[in-house]
Amino acid sequence: MTHTALIAGQGALPRDLAAALSDAGEAVTIAEMDGFPCEIPGTEPVRFRIERLAPFLDYLAEKGVTRVVFAGSLSRPRIEPELIDPRTATLVPRLLSAFQKGDDTLLREVVAIFEEWDFAVVGVEDVAPDLVPAAGILTGTPSEADRRDAERAAGIVAAVGPMDIGQGAVVAQGLCLAIESLPGTDAMLAFVADHAAHLKPDPKGSKGVFYKAPKPGQDRRMDLPVLGPATVAGAAKAGLAGIAWEAGGVILLDRPETIAAADKAGLFLWAREP
């Protein structure tokens, strides 16, 4: 039997992933970083700290864990030097160097360390493929103008991706209204909601599309973009026509609830071929 360690951050994704692993009958060890409690009912996660990463990895190996999946959001923790054990001290320079660079660099370093302990690091789509929709329109009907806006947004996300800025953009009538950055999707959609009326050249023209995709070259085992009911609520408040994303590259949480919310708001949901 496969024994998987779920390194759980915050949000709904770890909950859904834990349920998928349980349904598959797999042995699961759930772990959370100290200070960032996960939200998985009925579980008692193992807690770890970056300062004692080596003993934590030893613990997973001793339990028979063979593969690891990361899920959920985490902020960068504050490192307390006095807590670092001698073996983890050999890893700290690598982590500190990665901390000073973009998220992609940090995540690649974390993956490399786990692989050095002989764990197979896998992605969400490897564990729960139903959470990563294939190409198709889930609800609604994007117009030709919406399709052009989605294509324009996809180009923008692809262009800024190598700079490790964000994974989403909002385009209306061919104009970029916002690009996702460190504050995240909710903040970007809130900005559009506050300013869209002044940014769109034609009030009666196309409403706009929120598009999301992984960064080009991103290691898809870590930090895949996530959409869910809250995204629909934000897009609706921003007055957009719908949400599009790269098929096979974005996690969709609470699919029935998300589709129902989009239907109610009159938004389309489109997993778009790259």
Res 102: pLDDT = 62
In tens, the pLDDT along 24-79 reads: 888 999 999 998 889 898 888 999 998 999 999 999 999 999 999 998 887 777 88
Element (H, E) at 126: helix 124-127
Q: Model confidence at 152, in pLDDT bands (50, 70, 90)? A: very high
In tens, the pLDDT along 82-132 reads: 899 999 999 888 877 776 666 667 778 888 999 999 999 999 988 888 899
Phi, psi dihedrals of residue 135, rounded to the nearest 5° = -60, 140
Does residue 107 contact residue 222 with C-beta atoms inside 8 Å?
yes
In tens, the pLDDT along 200-246 reads: 778 788 999 999 999 887 778 877 899 999 999 999 999 999 999 99
Res 81: pLDDT = 85
Res 199: pLDDT = 75
In tens, the pLDDT along 164-201 reads: 788 999 999 999 999 999 888 999 999 999 987 777 77
Q: SS3 for 259?
A: helix
Query: Hey, what are 9's tokens?
Result: 């951050």
Query: Nearest to residue 261, comparing CAs of 231, 223, 216, 222?
Result: 231
Give all domains of the chain, ordered by start, each with its CATH number.
3-127 (3.40.50.20), 132-272 (3.40.140.80)
pLDDT for 266 beyond 90: yes
**122 conformational bin, left if phi > 0, alpha if psi -120 to 50, beta if neither:** beta
Say which residues have a Cβ less than 8 Å from residue 213's Cβ, sequence separation at least 6.
154, 157, 158, 161, 167, 168, 225, 245, 246, 249, 250, 274
Integer Cα distance of 7 and 77 in angstroms: 15
